[in-house]
C-alpha cells in the first residue's frame, strides 16, 4: 500500500485522536468537512474510485451527520487507502488521467488470416475528391440522387457476392478494436471474405470461395447442374439467363429474375434515378435515367443501353447496371451490379479524337477472317474521360478499373457500338502509386524510363476500344452463339487478354499510319509490360490477372520479354514485340470467333501459371502497393 500524504494523512491523525470520543468527533468532523476547500480533494479522488467506494465516499462527505460510530469513519478511510492508494496519490500529485482500457474485439471467435495486416498494407488509401463548387444547386441535388441510387446497388452487390461477409461487415461497424477495423476495411476492399489478390483464398474462416458466389447454391456441382438442364431443357434459358439467381426448390433448380430477387433495393434505386431525371437540365440524360429506371424493374436493358450509348458528350453520366460476369466462375454468364457517378473532364476528353476516328479501320485491319469481324462503319464509338467521385458494386471492390467499355450486349455492338469511359482520377492514382514504381524495380532502367502516364493512358484507351472489336458472335456447330456463353467461365480472362493485345496491335497500326509519333511506340510497350507486372501482383485467379499472366508467358516463350540473370531485371525486345503481338492477337481473336471452349481452356492452362523467377523478381516491388483503396469524400452507407 502506498503511504498516504498531505491532507489525508492529517485526517487520519485527526481520527485517531478522537477514537472513543464520539460526540466530540462528530462535531469536529462535521466542521472539517463543512470546509469545501478541505473537502474537495476527497471528492476529486472519489471520482476515480470504483463504483461502490465512490458512492460511499460521496455519501459520507455530504451526509456524515448520519454517522455515529468512529470506526465507520476509520473503515471508510482504510477503504480509500487500500482500493485506490496509487491512483489517488498520483491524482493529487499530478492529476494525470488513467489509461483507457483496450477496445473489446468482436472477432475473437473467428479464424482470421494471420497475415491480414500485411495483405491490407498492399492497398494504398487514396482520397477521391468531389468538387461541386462549379455546379448549380440543381446539379448538386441531382448528383446526390445519383449517389443515393448507387448506394442501393452496393447493397445488392454484397448479396450477390457474399451475404455472410456483408453480415460480418455490418457487425463490425463502430468497433474501435484495431483488429476489427482492419478486418472491416479488408472486407470492404474485397466485397467479400475472399482475398482477390491471393487467388480468392478466405481471410475469414476456412471455407473456400464458392465458384458461383451467392448466384448459385453453394453445394451445386457442374455435374448436377448439367444433369438437371439435360432433364429439364425448357428451364435452360432461364437458368443460363444473365439476370437470374439460381436457387434450390425442393429437388428442382429455380431461376429467380433479379428484379424479383432484389426488389427490396431496386425500388429505392428506381425512385432515386427518377428524382435525378427530374433535376437534370440535359433532356437526353434525363430520358436515359428514366429508361434505366424502367429496365431495373424488368431486367431488359436493351432500350436504355441504346439511349445511353447515344448520349453526346454529357457533362454528367452514370454507369448503372448488372454488366460484368466477374463473380460467376460457375457458368461465366451471371452478371453483378455495378455503378459509378461520372463528371466530364473536358480537357482530357478532347484528346480522344485520334483514337475515335479510326475505330472502323482498325477493325478492318485485324488478323481475322472478314466474316468474323463485322464492319464498325456507321457505328457510334463515344468516348469520355470522366472523374469518378463515387463507385458502387463491382466497380467499387477488388480490381480498381481505370476504364470501361460498355454495354457488353453484342446486339448493341452490332446496331450502335459501345461506349468507352476512362476514369481519370483512378488512372492517375494507379500510374503514380503502382505502375511506375513497379516498372522502376523490375525493368531495365533505360526501359523503365520509357514507361509513362501518357503511354499507359494510350494503351488503356486502345484496350477499351478493343473490347468492341473482333467478332460479335461465335461460330459454333450449333450456329451463331453468344461468345460469352460458348466459352463459359474462361471468357472473362480471354476477353481481357484480347482487349490488351488487340489494343497494342491498334497502337502499332496508328503509328504506322503516322497518326501517333513513331518514337512513342517503345513507350507503349514498356508501359504495357509495366502494367502486366502490376496486375500479376494482384493475383491470377481474377480475370485481369489470368489474362496478363498468359500474355507474359507467351511473350517470354517468344523471347521478347526476358529476365537478365545478372541484374534480375526484365528486358523487352522492342524490335520483336510487333510480331509477337500480332501472333497473339490472331490466336485470341480466333478463339472468340470459333467459340472453341476446349481450345481456350487448354491455352490458359498452358500459359496460366506464375513462373518461379517472376514470383521471385516481384519481391523487389514488395514495398509498392498492389492497388489503390479509393476513399470517397461522399459517405458509403449500405443496407
The dihedral region occupied by 288, where left means phi > 0, alpha psi between -120 and 50, and beta the remainder, is alpha
Which grid coordinates are listed for 233? 431443357
Please tell me whether residues 85 and 140 are part of one structural domain.
Answer: no
Q: In the predicted model, what is the mean pLDDT of the chain?
A: 86
Residue 638 DSSP label = -
Residue 474 DSSP label = E
Higher pLDDT: 488 or 34? It is: 488
Q: How many CA atoms lie within 13 A of 366 on its CB side?
A: 34
Residue 67: pLDDT band (50, 70, 90) is very low
Question: Does the residue 593 lie in any domain?
Answer: yes
Please tell me whether residues 235 and 179 are part of one structural domain.
Answer: yes
Closest by CA position to 633, among listed 343, 267, 268? 343
Per-residue burial over 205-231, b if 16 or more Cβ lie within 10 Å, else e, is: eeeebbbbbbbbbeebeeeebeebeee
Contact 345, 134 (CB under 8 A): no
Question: Does the residue 397 lie in any domain?
Answer: no
Least trusted range by pLDDT, from 194-198, 262-266, 368-372, 380-384:
380-384
Contact 595, 476 (CB under 8 A): yes
Question: Does the residue 351 lie in any domain?
Answer: no
Higher pLDDT: 418 or 295? It is: 295
Please tell me whether residues 336 and 376 are part of one structural domain.
Answer: no
Kind of pairing, strands 244-249 and 336-344? unpaired
Least trusted range by pLDDT, from 255-264, 311-320, 347-356, 406-415:
347-356
Please tell me whether residues 329 and 221 are part of one structural domain.
Answer: yes
Residue 381: pLDDT band (50, 70, 90) is confident
Encode pLDDT of 509-524 as tens digits. 999 999 999 999 999 9
Residue 420 DSSP label = E
Please tell me whether residues 477 and 537 are part of one structural domain.
Answer: yes
Question: Does the residue 581 lie in any domain?
Answer: yes
Question: Does the residue 73 lie in any domain?
Answer: yes
Provide the H-helix boundaries in 241-391.
Answer: 258-261, 263-279, 283-296, 302-309, 346-349, 353-357, 359-365
Question: Does the residue 262 lie in any domain?
Answer: yes
Please tell me whether residues 378 and 490 are part of one structural domain.
Answer: yes
Closest by CA position to 505, among listed 453, 536, 534, 469? 469
Last residue of a domain, one of 40, 62, 94: 94
Please tell me whether residues 607 and 483 are part of one structural domain.
Answer: yes
Backbone dihedral angles phi then psi of residue 503, each to the nearest 5 degrees: -60, -45
pLDDT greater than 70 at residue 13: no
Strand partners for 635: none
Residue 234 to residue 240: CA distance in whole angstroms = 11
Q: Residue 422: its pLDDT value, please?
A: 93
Encode pLDDT of 348-366 as tens digits. 888 888 888 899 999 999 9
Q: Any idea which residue has 432515386 for its cell?
A: 272
- Residue 531 neighbours by CB under 8 Å, 6+ apart: 435, 456, 459, 548
Last residue of a domain, one of 43, 67, 94: 94
Q: Residue 357: its pLDDT value, please?
A: 86
Residue 93 to residue 553: CA distance in whole angstroms = 71
Contact 150, 390 (CB under 8 A): yes
Residue 377: pLDDT band (50, 70, 90) is confident
Question: Does the residue 115 lie in any domain?
Answer: no
Q: Residue 616: its pLDDT value, please?
A: 93
Quickly count: other Cβ atoms within 10 Å of residue 343's Cβ: 22
Residue 247 to residue 265: CA distance in whole angstroms = 19
Q: Residue 102: its pLDDT value, please?
A: 62
Residue 537 to residue 440: CA distance in whole angstroms = 15
Encode pLDDT of 130-177 as tens digits. 989 999 999 999 999 999 999 999 999 999 999 999 999 999 999 999
Strands (E) located in 371-473: 383-393, 403-406, 419-423
Kind of pairing, strands 123-128 and 570-572? unpaired
The residue count for the chain: 639
Residue 431 DSSP label = I
Q: How many CA atoms lie within 13 A of 21 on its CB side?
A: 11
Please tell me whether residues 57 and 154 are part of one structural domain.
Answer: no
Q: Any idea which residue has 489509461 for its cell?
A: 99
Q: Any idea which residue has 429505392 for its cell?
A: 268
Q: What is the mean pLDDT of residues 420-427?
A: 93
Question: Does the residue 544 lie in any domain?
Answer: yes
Q: Any idea which residue has 460511499 for its cell?
A: 56
Q: Residue 380: its pLDDT value, please?
A: 67
Contacts 24+ apart (CB under 8 A), 51-58: 53/79, 53/80, 53/83, 53/84
Which grid coordinates are listed for 136? 448549380
Residue 519 to residue 524: CA distance in whole angstroms = 10
Please tell me whether residues 331 and 428 are part of one structural domain.
Answer: no
Q: Residue 150: its pLDDT value, please?
A: 97
Please tell me whether residues 376 and 335 are part of one structural domain.
Answer: no
Encode pLDDT of 318-357 as tens digits. 999 999 999 999 999 999 999 999 999 998 888 888 888 8
Residue 111 DSSP label = -
Which grid coordinates are listed for 470? 473482333
- Which residue range(s) make up the domain with 230? 135-344
Residue 142 to residue 148: CA distance in whole angstroms = 10
Please tell me whether residues 155 and 48 are part of one structural domain.
Answer: no
In which element (H, E) is residue 179 found?
A: helix 178-190
Burial (CB count <10 Å: 0-12, 13-18, 19+), residue 499? buried
Contact 84, 48 (CB under 8 A): yes
The number of domains in the chain is 3
pLDDT greater than 70 at residue 16: no
Please tell me whether residues 57 and 175 are part of one structural domain.
Answer: no
Residue 83: pLDDT band (50, 70, 90) is very low
Encode pLDDT of 258-278 as tens digits. 999 999 999 999 999 999 999
Q: Any idea which residue has 463528371 for its cell?
A: 343
Q: Is the pTM of this model over 0.75?
A: no
Amino acid at each position: 500500500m502506498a503511504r498516504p500524504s498531505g491532507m489525508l494523512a492529517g485526517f487520519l491523525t485527526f481520527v485517531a485522536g478522537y477514537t472513543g470520543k464520539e460526540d466530540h468527533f462528530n462535531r469536529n468532523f462535521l466542521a472539517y468537512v463543512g470546509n469545501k476547500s478541505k473537502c474537495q480533494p476527497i471528492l476529486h479522488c472519489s471520482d476515480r474510485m470504483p463504483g461502490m467506494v465512490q458512492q460511499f465516499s460521496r455519501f459520507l462527505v455530504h451526509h456524515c451527520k448520519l454517522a455515529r460510530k468512529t470506526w465507520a469513519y476509520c473503515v471508510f478511510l482504510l477503504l480509500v487507502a487500500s482500493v485506490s492508494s496509487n491512483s489517488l496519490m498520483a491524482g493529487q500529485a499530478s492529476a494525470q488521467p488513467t489509461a483507457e482500457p483496450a477496445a473489446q474485439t468482436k472477432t475473437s471467435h473467428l479464424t482470421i488470416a494471420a497475415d491480414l495486416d500485411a495483405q491490407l498494407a498492399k492497398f494504398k488509401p487514396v482520397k477521391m475528391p468531389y468538387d461541386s463548387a462549379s455546379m448549380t444547386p440543381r446539379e448538386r441535388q441531382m448528383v446526390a440522387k445519383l449517389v443515393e441510387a448507387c448506394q442501393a446497388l452496393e447493397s445488392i452487390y454484397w448479396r450477390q457476392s457474399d451475404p455472410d461477409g456483408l453480415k460480418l461487415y455490418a457487425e463490425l461497424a463502430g468497433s474501435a478494436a484495431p483488429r476489427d477495423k482492419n478486418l472491416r476495411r479488408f472486407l470492404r476492399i474485397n466485397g467479400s471474405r475472399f482475398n482477390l489478390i491471393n487467388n480468392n483464398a478466405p481471410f475469414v474462416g476456412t471455407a473456400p470461395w464458392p465458384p458461383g458466389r451467392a448466384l448459385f447454391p453453394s453445394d451445386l456441382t457442374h455435374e448436377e447442374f448439367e444433369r438437371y438442364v439435360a432433364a429439364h431443357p425448357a428451364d435452360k434459358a432461364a437458368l443460363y439467363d444473365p439476370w437470374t439467381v439460381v436457387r434450390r426448390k425442393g429437388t428442382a433448380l429455380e431461376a429467380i429474375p433479379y428484379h424479383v430477387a432484389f426488389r427490396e433495393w431496386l425500388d429505392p434505386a428506381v425512385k432515386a434515378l427518377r428524382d435525378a431525371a427530374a433535376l437534370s437540365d440535359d433532356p437526353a440524360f434525363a430520358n436515359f435515367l428514366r429508361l434505366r429506371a424502367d429496365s431495373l424493374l424488368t431486367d431488359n436493358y436493351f432500350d436504355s443501353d441504346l439511349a445511353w450509348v447515344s448520349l453526346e458528350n454529357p457533362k454528367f453520366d452514370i454507369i448503372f447496371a448488372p454488366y460484368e460476369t466477374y463473380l460467376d466462375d460457375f457458368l461465366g454468364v451471371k452478371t453483378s451490379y455495378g455503378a459509378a457517378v461520372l463528371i466530364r473532364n473536358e480537357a482530357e476528353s478532347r484528346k480522344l479524337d485520334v483514337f475515335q476516328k479510326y475505330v472502323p479501320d482498325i477493325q478492318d485491319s485485324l488478323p481475322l477472317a472478314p466474316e468474323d469481324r463485322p464492319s464498325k462503319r456507321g457505328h457510334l464509338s463515344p468516348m469520355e474521360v470522366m472523374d469518378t467521385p463515387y463507385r458502387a458494386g463491382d466497380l467499387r471492390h477488388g480490381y480498381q478499373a481505370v476504364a470501361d467499355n460498355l454495354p457488353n450486349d453484342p446486339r448493341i455492338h452490332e446496331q450502335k457500338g459501345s461506349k468507352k469511359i476512362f476514369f481519370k482520377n483512378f488512372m492517375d492514382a494507379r500510374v503514380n502509386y503502382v505502375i511506375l514504381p513497379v516498372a522502376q524495380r523490375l525493368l531495365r532502367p533505360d526501359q523503365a524510363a520509357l514507361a509513362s502516364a501518357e503511354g499507359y493512358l494510350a494503351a488503356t484507351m486502345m484496350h477499351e476500344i478493343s473490347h468492341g472489336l473482333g467478332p460479335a458472335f461465335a461460330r459454333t456447330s450449333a450456329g451463331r452463339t453468344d461468345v460469352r456463353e460458348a466459352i463459359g467461365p474462361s471468357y472473362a480472362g480471354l476477353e481481357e487478354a484480347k482487349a490488351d493485345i488487340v489494343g497494342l496491335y491498334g497502337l502499332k497500326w496508328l503509328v504506322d499510319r503516322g497518326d501517333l509519333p513513331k518514337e512513342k511506340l517503345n513507350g507503349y510497350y514498356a508501359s504495357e509490360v509495366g502494367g502486366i507486372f502490376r496486375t500479376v501482383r494482384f493475383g491470377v485467379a481474377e480475370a485481369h490477372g489470368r489474362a496478363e499472366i498468359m500474355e507474359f508467358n507467351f511473350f517470354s516463350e517468344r523471347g521478347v520479354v526476358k529476365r537478365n540473370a545478372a541484374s534480375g531485371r526484365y528486358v523487352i525486345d522492342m524490335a520483336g514485340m510487333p510480331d509477337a503481338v500480332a501472333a497473339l492477337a490472331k490466336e485470341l481473336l480466333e478463339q472468340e470467333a470459333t467459340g472453341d471452349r476446349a481450345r481456350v481452356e487448354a491455352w490458359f492452362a498452358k500459359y496460366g501459371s506464375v513462373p518461379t523467377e517472376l514470383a521471385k523478381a516481384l519481391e523487389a516491388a514488395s514495398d509498392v502497393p498492389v492497388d489503390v483503396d479509393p476513399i470517397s469524400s461522399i459517405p458509403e452507407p449500405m443496407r
